[in-house]
Amino acid sequence: MIGPTLGFYFAKRFFSAVVLIFVSCVALIMLVDFLEMTRRTADRDTVTTGVVAMLTIYRTPAFTEQLLPFAVLFGGIAAFVTLSRKLELVVARAVGLSAWQFIFPAVLVAFLLGAFSTGVFNPVSADFKERANRIEGDIFNSSSGGVLPSGRGAFWIRQQSLDGQAIIQAATTQHGGRELIGVTAFEFDKRDRVVQRIEAKSATLQRGYWELHDARVLIPGFDQQSFETFLVATNLDPNEIQEALTSPDTVSFWQLPDAIAAAEQAGFGAQRYRLHFQSLLARPFLLIAMVLIAAVVGLRVFRFGGVGQTILGGVAAGFLLYLGTKLAEDLGEAGVIHPVAAAWFPAVAGIVLGVLVLLHREDG
């Protein structure tokens, strides 16, 4: 095994490179997002710069979770290439260390970063995402989230009641899915004919009915009517639907098992929650796959030439692995493949391919 001093040195170089790239990208994301939110809220006098800054802070952790694999990949490439360029890896090989020994500290750091991201950072990100949704809902009456996302980020609910069925479209959810923002509802009679269309600023789920606020009701053949409060019957229960209407991004890792159980009890598919839970479990191993890809790139000795092409190939391989992860998640969310396979296959495949390439290069 590699000595503790040299192992700590390699781990420190890798961790420093990852943190530098991660912090730089986060700062850039926050700046761009702050400017974009400032542009979107320019015509709203009630929205101050402080509110925009707070919204940007709440939105950033959800973005940075997606950024972490790339930070590990680029940080690993930078660390290994720097060590190789300064001939430190050559010296390490000269004293009898193999590539597997000086890769191990980076693999360990990547695993710990993934575990920290899943167990600690994700709950913070989920809480901040929920707060960002509330602020965006108050400002724009639109945000991401819901059960069945449409092309514009809204979602749809189809329900049944004693009066017939109704289809409710909303822009976002708040308070665990019990409050809808930007609501449009279509009520049908027993013969599936449209009875009325309702537009409301918000709707709150009570036991046995939706309470719509600031509603405008349009009945075919009659003039539009306005109501401060309007009720729509429903068979949905607030306790059962609270978790089912919540986006997986706003549910922390430790609460996902309860969210899965609640979604199944309410009759909603728990596929998205299962996939998100398994993806978080697989995240440390996805980061290990990124380290192995970086090692394939960075361990090439400079005097052999072709370093630029090798780095470009490693970056392309990392992006392909990430795209494969997203494709597998989309297939898993659609129910084409099992959530466990969708979440774990990219990470396992990346690790296996990285190990095979390193075995070929190092051991022939």
Q: Residue 220 is part of a domain; what is its CATH number?
A: 2.60.450.10
Q: Which of 246, 262, 291 is a domain's end point?
A: 246
Whether residue 173 sits in one domain with residue 114: no
The reported pLDDT for the residue numbered 301 is 52
Q: Lowest-confidence range among 10-19, 55-64, 160-169?
A: 160-169
Number of compact structural domains in the chain: 2
Average pLDDT over residues 192-208: 84
What is the C-alpha to C-alpha distance for residues 308 and 312, in angstroms, rounded to an integer? Answer: 6
pLDDT band, residue 306 (cuts 50/70/90): low
Give the helix/strand (H/E) hosting 160: strand 155-161
The residue with greater pLDDT, 79 or 322, is: 79
Q: 179-182 contacts: CB < 8 A, separation 24 or more?
A: 179/203, 179/204, 179/205, 180/204, 180/205, 180/210, 181/137, 181/141, 181/142, 181/143, 182/137, 182/141, 182/142, 182/154
Q: Which of 231, 246, 261 is a domain's end point?
A: 246
- In a 3-state reduction of DSSP, which class is residue 65? helix
Confirm whether 147 is domain-assigned.
Answer: no
pLDDT tens, 240-270? 555 455 677 778 888 888 877 766 655 556 7
Whether residue 97 sits in one domain with residue 11: yes
**Mean pLDDT, the chain, whole residue set:** 79
Whether residue 342 sits in one domain with residue 298: yes
The reported pLDDT for the residue numbered 111 is 95
Confirm whether 199 is domain-assigned.
Answer: yes
What is the C-alpha to C-alpha distance for residues 340 and 277, in angstroms, rounded to an integer? Answer: 9
Whether residue 291 sits in one domain with residue 224: no
Q: Which of 246, 280, 304 is a domain's end point?
A: 246
The reported pLDDT for the residue numbered 114 is 93
Cα separations (Å) of 284 from 119, 294, 360?
11, 15, 25
Whether residue 23 sits in one domain with residue 62: yes
The reported pLDDT for the residue numbered 133 is 77
Q: Lowest-confidence range among 93-97, 192-196, 202-206, 241-245?
A: 241-245
Confirm whether 205 is domain-assigned.
Answer: yes
Whether residue 80 sits in one domain with residue 168: no
Percent above pLDDT 90 for the chain:
13
Whether residue 160 sits in one domain with residue 121: no
pLDDT band, residue 175 (cuts 50/70/90): low
Confirm whether 345 is domain-assigned.
Answer: yes
pLDDT band, residue 27 (cuts 50/70/90): very high
Confirm whether 107 is domain-assigned.
Answer: yes
Confirm whether 343 is domain-assigned.
Answer: yes
What is the C-alpha to C-alpha distance for residues 355 and 180, in angstroms, rounded to an integer? Answer: 49
Average pLDDT over residues 296-307: 62
Residue 231 has pLDDT above 50, yes or no: yes
Residue 273 has pLDDT above 60, yes or no: yes
pLDDT band, residue 144 (cuts 50/70/90): very low
Residue 162 has pLDDT above 70, yes or no: no
Confirm whether 149 is domain-assigned.
Answer: no
The reported pLDDT for the residue numbered 210 is 86
Q: Lowest-confidence range among 21-35, 147-161, 260-274, 340-354?
A: 147-161
Average pLDDT over residues 323-346: 83
pLDDT band, residue 113 (cuts 50/70/90): very high
CA-nearest of 85, 36, 67 to 307 is 85
Whether residue 29 sits in one domain with residue 119: yes
pLDDT band, residue 174 (cuts 50/70/90): low
Domain that holds residue 304: 4-141+270-363
pTM for the full model? 0.72
Whether residue 242 sits in one domain with residue 325: no
The reported pLDDT for the residue numbered 146 is 35
The reported pLDDT for the residue numbered 148 is 38
The reported pLDDT for the residue numbered 142 is 41
Interior angle at CA 20, CA 17 and CA 24, nearest 5: 145
Residue 152 has pLDDT above 80, yes or no: no
Whether residue 135 sits in one domain with residue 29: yes
Confirm whether 300 is domain-assigned.
Answer: yes
pLDDT band, residue 177 (cuts 50/70/90): low
Average pLDDT over residues 128-156: 59
Whether residue 274 sits in one domain with residue 215: no
What is the C-alpha to C-alpha distance for residues 212 and 139, in angstroms, rounded to an integer? Answer: 19
The reported pLDDT for the residue numbered 4 is 80
Whether residue 55 sits in one domain with residue 18: yes
